[in-house]
Amino acid sequence: MRLSLSSLLVTITVFHYAAANPLEAVELKRDELILCCVDPVQKVPDSSHEGPPSKKARLSRTDTMALEGPEESQGGRSARKSKKADSNPKTFLPRVNSLWKVGAHVSAAGGVENAVTKAASIGANAFALFLKSQRKWTSPALTNDSIASFKEKMTEHNYTSDVVLPHGSYLINLGNPDLEKRQKSYDCFIDDLKRCELLGLKYYNFHPGSTVGSTTKEKCISHIAECLNRAHRETTSIVTVIENMAGAGNIIGGDFADIKGIIDQVDDKSRVGVCLDTCHSFAAGYDLRTKEAWDDMMKQFDEIVGISYLCGMHLNDSKTGLGSHRDRHENIGLGHLGLSSFRNLMNDERVQNIPLILETPNFEAPMELWAKEIAVLQQLSTSVMESKENRDMIQSIIGEASTDEDLVDVIKSAVKAAEGSKPKKASAAKKGGKKGGKRKRDEDRDEDEDETEEED
């Protein structure tokens, strides 16, 4: 199936993408902020309709069109647009038939059900979402309508619960030595888990926690495991998925041994899993760039934790080098990991049939950029490319790129187009205050709080 320009334009016209979480200075105490991460501003400027109808029959790396329509707030007009988009799934990008379930962390602005449609629109075989505002301790409950709509859309777009990897609130620190603060985190955590169960989801991904500099690693790990045991008793089926971290400062989860330490103390091992983030792994010192290095990392993971616990991965390139302990996500192929790391991943049977989620910078045209990153990743898989149908689908999204250089160019061009579509007066700078300006916090998602750099 090829996406014609006219249908693409329909997509452009009907799609709404609300800002999930405007950058706001988070006023929290140091230890509460410790796990607070950066989230992109997912805004699309009104000028994103650029690109008049041309003779091009399909997207290519020279295209500069955004797949997104004008950005609006979560108001009525955008909601209507969203509905319109739902009613016409034929305008969505094709979804490659692949055992590597690549998708992205999409916005759930306007309701969790919208995340399903957004994932479908970019040809994602999997997706992640926040179940509520990731920067607030409490949020309104899911409505029955929203739950029903989410389930309907899951069926409509052929997603099963095992390709969905919801991400927990950044505020949660189950390892906080302060009992009151740990309880506050636990309350937020259990609320998330219950939301997952209401939505019929299987997995829930969270950051393990931090010592906040006032307890030992061992005690922190025990606190986390105790919280998990308690949460497993209070819920029925959800699998709590521990994410590995970049290993900055007091944060638990940089070493695979930390993850093993938690799992060892979990009573019901069937209720716990692990998500490996490629950027975090690399920053923590695990190399993935050569086939040998990749296999060695997987071997270490298997020996220390156990491959059977692997429930998902986050696919992010890294802006910083091996062992930097700094968590800076980069677009696929443009960072220190490079395409070779992802080629290793996309040809490894051990990571088939689990959600593989992009958390790469999306600037303000997330849908186009992620759609291209997904297509590039699928193209790296030898077995995916054996199918002519798959090859045609991928070509319809990224053109005839074949060499690594071509594929990197596809991403570079998409990034450039996305950057170019930013509004002149970047709202991020205004809303993000000094943090926004300090280190482009609007660009990256899901980063560890870097204790060595963060002063406020």
List of residues contacting Zn ion (CB under 5 A): 243, 277, 314, 446
- Point out the catalytic residue in the list 39, 71, 277, 446: 277
Selecting among 314, 343, 441, 445, the annotated active-site residue is: 314
Query: Which is closer to Zn ion, CB of 192 or CB of 243?
Result: 243
**261: amino acid identity, one letter:** G
Min dist CB 425 to Zn ion, Å, is 30
For the bound state, the minimum distance from the C-beta of residue 130 to Zn ion, rounded and expressed in Å, comes to 11
The answer to whether residue 167 is catalytic is yes
Q: Which is nearer to Zn ion, 66 or 275 (CB)?
A: 275
Q: Which of 32, 63, 243, 442 is catalytic?
A: 243
32 is catalytic: no
Cα Rg of the chain, angstroms = 20
Nearer to Zn ion, 277 or 317 (CB): 277
Looking at beta carbons only, is 313 or 408 nearer to Zn ion?
Answer: 313
Please state the closest distance from residue 413 (CB atom) to Zn ion, in A: 25
Q: State the Cα–Cα distance between residues 229 and 296, nearest whole angstrom.
A: 31
Least distance (Å) between residue 40 CB and Zn ion: 13
Per annotation, catalytic residue among 32, 113, 159, 170: 170
User: Which CB atom, from 446 or from 449, has the smaller least distance to Zn ion?
Assistant: 446
CB of 420 to Zn ion, least distance (A): 27
Q: What is Dmax (Cα atoms) for the chain? A: 63
d(CA 130, CA 152): 18
Among residues 14 and 106, whose Cβ is nearest to Zn ion? Answer: 106
**16 noted as active-site residue:** no
**The tokens of 398 are what?**
């990224």
d(Cα 364, Cα 385) in Å, to the nearest integer? 30
The whole-angstrom separation of Cα 245 and Cα 146 is 32
> Whole-number minimum distance, CB 286 to Zn ion, in Å?
14
| 135 is annotated as an active-site residue | yes
* Residue 159 bears catalytic tag: no
Closest CB to Zn ion among 81 and 280? 280
Q: Which of 280, 336, 441, 445 is catalytic?
A: 280
Q: How far is the CB of 208 from Zn ion (least distance, A)?
A: 10
Q: Is 182 a catalytic residue?
A: no
Active-site residue (options: 39, 71, 327, 373): 327
Cα gap 350→395, rounded to integer Å? 26
Nearer CB in complex with Zn ion: 69/209: 209
Q: Is 327 a catalytic residue?
A: yes
**Least distance in angstroms from the C-beta of 330 to Zn ion:** 13
HEC assignment per residue over the chain = CCCCHHHHHHHHHHCCCCCCCCCCCCCCCHHHHCCCCCCCCCCCCHHHHCCCCCCCCCCCCCCCCCCCCCCCCCCHHHHHHHHHHHCCHHHCCCCCCCCCEEEEECCCCCCHHHHHHHHHHCCCCEEECECCCCCCCCCCCCCHHHHHHHHHHHHHCCCCHHHECCECCCCCCCCCCCHHHHHHHHHHHHHHHHHHHHCCCCEEEECCEECCCCCCHHHHHHHHHHHHHHHHHHCCCCEEEEECCCCCCCEECCCHHHHHHHHHCCCCHHHEEEEEEHHHHHHHCCCCCCHHHHHHHHHHHHHHCCHHHEEEEEECEECCCCCCCCCCEECCCCCCCHHHHHHHHHCCHHHCCCEEEECCCCCCCHHHHHHHHHHHHHHCCCCHHHCHHHHHHHHHHHCCCCCHHHHHHHHHHHHHHHHHCCCCCCHHHHHHHHHHHHHCCCCCCCCCCCCCCCCC
Catalytic residues: 135, 167, 170, 207, 243, 277, 280, 314, 327, 329, 359
